[in-house]
Amino acid sequence: MDMILTINTDRPYDVIVENGALGRIGESVKPLFKAGSRAMIVSDTNVFPIYGETVTAQLKAVGFEVFSHVFPAGEAQKTLASVAQIYASLAKANFTRSDFVVTLGGGVAGDMGGFAAATFLRGIEFVQVPTSLLAQVDASVGGKTAVDLPDGKNLVGAFHQPRLVVADPKTLDTLPDDFFVDGMGEVIKHGCILDPVLFDALERGTALDRLEVMIARNVACKKMMVEEDTRDKGRRMILNFGHTFGHAIEKMTDFTLSHGRAVSIGMVLAAEVGEGLRVTPAGLADRIREVIADYGLPTKCPFDFADIVEATALDKKSFGKTLNLILLEDIGKAVIHPADRSYLVLRHKLAAEKSRRSAEENHG
């Protein structure tokens, strides 16, 4: 498996996936910017104390002038107010268009630092150094940058592709287990929609044997989607597998259930609905449910299906009577399937009634 993947957007960029890549980051970044350029490391209070020194020393050693902006860790910080503080740090250090941002951390550092880079001086370059599983397999590739508003997540943002992504799987050694498990939700999703080999490794329980291979396979999935549909208007929508129901569940729990966990339940629901609509072959929902459970993620839905469908009506991506469901025709083969909301609820009720009756008959 190739450990340097090139993302061919308008201006191609590399994603390096290598154990120990952080300790060589100076050499990787050096050819991309003029000697003497300034670099602003945007990182959080958990990640910077662990990896900040290495990245700073690496970048200094190859001739860059290095600054840092460290924000309190957590999604609550992904706001316009925090971005304004990054702008202030960049302005104070006299950043120009030939200088660059380095986002060091999980998806929050990447999304927010990337958005600051996309907008400061109408756009300066940035390098993504993802340190969470979610950021390495998903958020750091594709150029989506954003912050949250009180009205919803990721409501303000910009497409801004990084100049380079450096993912060092070794950094996951310090990632708390809870976040690792959460990131596995997106890994399972990629297996389901695009990569039968990855899904097979997940089913056999061998996926974590070589983390760098698993991460590179996920980057390859994301690469395929981003190259086909850079601005997320068509085919890239299949990356939303499990997300339509997942987002609704996240909201219904007031975000007490994490994203990866909500999406896992959403994937099971999408597979069940797919079977009901005869798009998904019988038995696939069971296989997906088993894989999700194997990696410590939840499969049981705590809400009534009709309430979830109702909640999807509030999703910014699915207004109107029709829901654009992402369903599986097989592992690795996802389709966009428009379905009427009330029809979905009706079908689900009928299917539940049928299985209740057959359970009763079996008992009788």
Ligand X SMILES: NC(=O)c1ccc[n+]([C@@H]2O[C@H](COP(=O)([O-])OP(=O)(O)OC[C@H]3O[C@@H](n4cnc5c(N)ncnc54)[C@H](O)[C@@H]3O)[C@@H](O)[C@H]2O)c1
108 binds ligand X (CB under 6 A): yes
Beta bridge partners of 44: 71
179 binds ligand X (CB under 6 A): yes
Report yes or no: 71 and 77 within 8 Å, Cβ to Cβ.
yes
Closer to ligand X by CB, 49 or 63: give it: 49
Q: How far apart are CA 95 and CA 83, in angstroms?
A: 15
Q: How far is the CA of 154 from the CAs of 28, 112, 304, 317, in angstroms?
A: 30, 10, 27, 12
**Judged by CB under 6 A, which stretch of 15-23, 39-47, 58-66, 266-274 contacts ligand X?**
39-47
Report yes or no: 44 and 70 within 8 Å, Cβ to Cβ.
yes
Residue 364 beta carbon to ligand X: minimum distance, rounded to whole angstroms: 49
Residue 17 beta carbon to ligand X: minimum distance, rounded to whole angstroms: 15
Closer to ligand X by CB, 178 or 340: give it: 178
Size of the site for ligand X (CB under 6 A): 28
**Judged by CB under 6 A, which stretch of 14-22, 55-63, 72-80, 261-269 contacts ligand X?**
72-80
Half-sphere exposure of 99 (CA within 13 A, CB side): 21
Residue 181 beta carbon to ligand X: minimum distance, rounded to whole angstroms: 11
Closer to ligand X by CB, 38 or 251: give it: 251
Closer to ligand X by CB, 108 or 334: give it: 108
Beta bridge partners of 156: 147
Tell me, what DSSP letter sits at residue 281? P
Instruction: Using CB under 6 A, pick the residue from 105, 113, 162, 185 that binds ligand X.
Output: 105
Closer to ligand X by CB, 203 or 232: give it: 232
- Which segments within the chain are labelled E, that is strand? 4-7, 13-17, 38-44, 65-71, 100-105, 125-130, 144-149, 152-159, 164-167, 322-330, 333-340
47 binds ligand X (CB under 6 A): yes
Contacts of 245 (CB under 8 A, 6+ apart): 265, 266, 269, 270, 308, 312
109 binds ligand X (CB under 6 A): yes
Residue 182 beta carbon to ligand X: minimum distance, rounded to whole angstroms: 6
**Judged by CB under 6 A, which stretch of 106-114, 212-220, 263-271, 319-327 contacts ligand X?**
106-114
Report yes or no: 39 and 102 within 8 Å, Cβ to Cβ.
yes
Closer to ligand X by CB, 133 or 309: give it: 133
Q: How far apart are CA 332 and CA 354, in angstroms?
A: 30
Q: How far apart are CA 98 and CA 27, in angstroms?
A: 18
Site for ligand X in 129-168 (CB under 6 A): 131-132, 134-135, 138-139, 142, 144, 153-154
Residue 360 beta carbon to ligand X: minimum distance, rounded to whole angstroms: 43
Closer to ligand X by CB, 47 or 270: give it: 47
* Other C-beta atoms lying within 10 Å of the C-beta of residue 60: 13
Closer to ligand X by CB, 144 or 337: give it: 144
DSSP letter string, 125-160: EEEEEE-SHHIIIIITSS-EEEEEETTEEEEEEEE-
246 binds ligand X (CB under 6 A): no
75 binds ligand X (CB under 6 A): yes
250 binds ligand X (CB under 6 A): no
Q: How far is the CA of 49 from the CAs of 1, 46, 198, 211, 332, in angstroms?
A: 32, 6, 34, 24, 40
Site for ligand X in 311-330 (CB under 6 A): none
Closer to ligand X by CB, 45 or 342: give it: 45
Binding site for ligand X (CB under 6 A): 44, 46-47, 50, 73-75, 78, 105-109, 111, 131-132, 134-135, 138-139, 142, 144, 153-154, 171, 174-175, 179
